[in-house]
Amino acid sequence: MARTCPEGHLSRAEDYCDVCGLSLADAASVDSPDADATSPDLAPVRPASMECPNCSAENAPDALFCENCGYDHTTGTMPRPVEPLAFPLPMSMRRPGGPMPSDPHVHAKDGGATADDDHGAADATAGEPADADPVRSGSDSDGHDDESPPADAVVPDKDVSVPAPAPAAPAAAPPADANPSRSLDEPWVAEVWIDPDWYADQGSSERMPSPGLPTVILLRRTSSLIGRASRSRGIAPDIDISGDPGVSRRHAQVTTDGARWFVEDLGSANGTYIGAATGSLPTEPISVSGRVEISPGEQVYLGAWTRIVIRKAADGEV
């Protein structure tokens, strides 16, 4: 047997309404009409709409919650207040040295203080030492807050003297030998010879060019590369021996301190040799671990037929 509550809801329970929970003790039962009834039962008249007691919005008569504010028509519970979204403050409004506020509902671990307690923190900074960050934050005596300075603006404390900036230290002069390839004080030259004796000793299968006068190359800097040119690899040797196939692209490096000359093998395929101008030819290549001094009267042998003599330039060669 169905019953109708005072609010007009149909309920199968006989004590309280299934819909709104009101007592059905005084409500009349709504039974099916008897066969001998003279007139059919009329459906209870329901209001066309129901006004929300909280926001006065019109809702459906059987609505459980207000569509506008969320008021619970069944239990009469007020809607939960809408909490404002927490946005990070701009840089110009952040307190110097203090934590950046995030969620206003997140409490600090030590005392349960929230971001709303920043006004009290401003008073606590009054007892800090003079070497603290001298950025002014707080309010005037008339209760109006000062405008927050820009993020990059620093307002010095009146009682703290700002030291004058220290003069810039002069740039240290580079050491005299920092650049291994500076210009030579005196002109030197490298004579590149085609040596038939060295060619015969090497036993190369390549055909040796005809011997003749040496190629004289002016040495303008304290370090010069010996090798063969390669456009694809960007190699342009100072002492170019591209005609000798036994010379590597980056074969050796000759350097000087102004008085003495040194040669260093750069990991060539056929080695670099130092020998006297007269006597037997050298048989052992120099080590690739460092440079070796070229003593007066000694010459550099490399490749299939190349011999190099380094000397001071004559008057007509510069």
Residues with Cβ within 8 Å of residue 113, at least 6 apart in sequence: 107
User: For position 295, which CATH number holds?
Assistant: 2.60.200.20
Which amino acid belongs to residue 250? R
pLDDT tens string 84-115: 666 666 665 656 555 555 544 544 444 444 44
- pLDDT higher than threshold 60 for residue 127: no
Average pLDDT on 15-21 reads 79
Examine residue 204 and state whether it is found in any structural domain, yes or no: yes
Q: Which of 167, 154, 195, 146 is nearest to 304 (CA)?
A: 195
155 or 131: which leads in pLDDT: 155
Q: Which of 150, 97, 91, 159 is nearest to 122 (CA)?
A: 97
Examine residue 253 and state whether it is found in any structural domain, yes or no: yes
Examine residue 136 and state whether it is found in any structural domain, yes or no: no
182 DSSP 8-state letter:
P
Chain-centre distance for alpha carbon 109? 33
The total number of structural domains in the chain stands at 1
Examine residue 217 and state whether it is found in any structural domain, yes or no: yes
Examine residue 258 and state whether it is found in any structural domain, yes or no: yes
Examine residue 158 and state whether it is found in any structural domain, yes or no: no
315 DSSP 8-state letter:
G
Q: Which of 132, 139, 179 is nearest to 159 (CA)?
A: 132
Domain ranges, residue 225? 183-317
Q: Tell me the three state secondary structure of residue 302.
A: strand
pLDDT band at 28 (very low <50, low <70, confident <90, very high): low
Task: Please report the pLDDT score of residue 65 as a whole number.
Answer: 81
